[in-house]
Amino acid sequence: MSEKKRIIFHVDMDHFFTAIEEKKHPEFKGKPVIVGADPKGGKGRGVVSTCNYEARKFGVRSGMPISRAWKLCPEAVYLPVNYELYTKVSSKIMAILRKYADKFEQWGIDEAFLDVSSKVKDYAEAERLARQIKLEIYEREGLTCSIGIGPNKLVAKIASDFQKPDGLTVVKAEDVEKFLSPLPVRKLLWVGRKTEQKLRAMGIRTIGDLARFDPTVLAEAFGVMGTQLYLMAHGIDRSEVEERGEIKSISRERTFEEDTADFELVFKTLEKLAEEVHGDVLEQNLYFKTVTVKVRYENFETHTHSRTLSFMTNRLDDLNKTAKELLQVYLRPDRKIRLVGVRVSNFVHGERQKTLV
């Protein structure tokens, strides 16, 4: 039984946050721009969220400590993350993209997968459609994106990253293995730093190395993931493009400006975070059963402690009381705290809640 041939797009906005800021402030054009934590003259905590291509010339990258970015490029324009603005722009972009797809899946704030199998009859038509999408986004929002086209999500995702910014990369089904083979394994979805290291220790560096490796050995070393790795290395990915389902958890966490043993401050912060979480819970008409508290000590050692209640609730009181109890075990006079967080999960959605009462 042969599978139905699909044509999938992955659309990735180019340096999304800084591109929006540049559009809002034309005077930034041509300058290095960095969106992220406050650098505080090199003493700041936190990381770079996004940087534009001018900043990348100095070696700045997203995810990098902001203090390091400051050392590399003190003359850059540093801006805080304005999620509200970026979310608004994101919604407009996603609305444009959705029109073009049979099936649509948003991926983070600035990426999306589109299954366009019924909209185009071959890759040449697909490429024309992609150009049309890029043009519409540019004309309506003044932003560029990179698009990857392939027979599945995996290949489309890797293709969109292949040529940036303002790129368009087409990988036909018959070219997939040739395209993937020389790329480092890190390019595969779900292969992060740890998996990359483990693979390197086995002598596997490129996707081609992985494709030639004994799949039973991979399964032994990585479990279910091993089989997945082997299939991905051969460009096989049967996962569907589908809208995200219901939300599974809501959380807030805060890193203190300085590590602290002031437990009054820790409790106050936890309370504030709980209020924010509770706000989201009400807004989305949810009831939760599980509360989790997260603590990170000054040495970066991180712990979570959770409790599932015997009832479902949407009350701030229940959240606060449970969170405070859970936090107690971590408050020790000899250990300074770097971060505190709170999460609720195990939801019963409000709509169905009524029928359960």
Partner DNA sequence: TCTGGGGTCCTAGGACCC
Task: Please identify every residue annotated as catalytic.
Answer: 111
Binding piece for DNA, criterion CB under 7 A, among 23-31, 92-100, 141-149, 288-296: 288-296
Smallest gap from Cβ 278 to DNA, in A, equals 12
Q: Which is nearer to DNA, 275 or 280 (CB)?
A: 280
Restricted to residues 9-28, the positions that interact with DNA (CB under 7 A) are none
Nearer to DNA, 124 or 247 (CB): 247
HSE toward the beta carbon, residue 140, CA cutoff 13 A? 16
Contacting residue, 72, 109, 236, 316, with DNA by CB under 7 A: 109
> Near DNA by CB under 7 A, which window of 114-122, 140-148, 172-180, 247-255?
247-255
Residue placing its CB nearer to DNA in the complex, 75 or 300:
300
Q: Are 138 and 131 in contact (CB under 8 A)?
A: no
Report the candidate in 96, 98, 99 with the shortest Cα–Cα distance to residue 134: 96
Counting contacts by CB under 7 A, is residue 216 touching DNA? no
**Whole-number minimum distance, CB 3 to DNA, in Å?**
21
Q: How far is the CB of 117 from DNA (least distance, A)?
A: 23
AA identity, residue 166: D
User: CB of residue 120 vs DNA: minimum separation in angstroms?
Assistant: 24
Smaller CB separation from DNA, 99 or 307: 307
* Binding letters toward DNA, positions 136-175, x by CB under 7 A: ---------------------x------------------
Contact between 172 and 159 (Cβ < 8 Å): no
Rounded distance between C-alpha atoms, residue 42 and residue 191, angstroms: 32
> If binding is defined by CB under 7 A, does position 339 make contact with DNA?
yes
CA–CA distance, 259 with 269 (Å, rounded to integer): 13
Among 82, 144, 260, 290, which residue sits at the site for DNA (rule: CB under 7 A)?
290
169 HSE (CA, 13 A, CB side): 22
Q: What backbone phi and psi angles, to 5 degrees, belong to 343?
A: -140, 145
Based on the shown chain and the rule CB under 7 A, indicate whether residue 201 belongs to the binding site for DNA. no
CB of 149 to DNA, least distance (A): 17
Instruction: Give me the helices (H) in the chain, please.
Output: 16-24, 53-56, 66-72, 83-99, 123-141, 153-160, 176-180, 193-201, 207-212, 215-222, 224-233, 263-283, 316-328, 350-356
User: Residue 55 — left, alpha, or beta (φ > 0 → left; ψ -120 to 50 → alpha)?
Assistant: alpha
Q: Which stretch binds DNA (CB under 7 A): 24-32, 103-111, 135-143, 146-154?
A: 103-111
Q: What is the smallest separation between the CB atom of 66 and DNA, expressed in angstroms? A: 7
Kindly tell me which residue out of 189, 265, 282, 331 binds DNA, with binding defined by CB under 7 A.
Answer: 189
What is the C-alpha end-to-end distance of the chain, expressed in Å? 47
Interface with DNA (CB under 7 A), residue from 82, 181, 346, 353:
346
311 binds DNA (CB under 7 A): no
CB of residue 22 vs DNA: minimum separation in angstroms? 18
341 binds DNA (CB under 7 A): yes
User: Three-state SS for 345?
Assistant: strand
Q: Which of 111, 180, 168, 181 is nearest to 135 (CA)?
A: 168
* 155 Cβ contact partners less than 8 Å away, ≥ 6 residues apart: 8, 148, 171, 176, 179, 180, 235, 237
- Contact of 148 with 155, CB cutoff 8 Å: yes
Residues that bind DNA (CB under 7 A): 37, 45-47, 49, 62-63, 65, 67-68, 81, 107-111, 157, 189-196, 223-225, 245, 247-255, 280, 289-290, 292, 299-300, 302-308, 338-339, 341, 343, 345-346
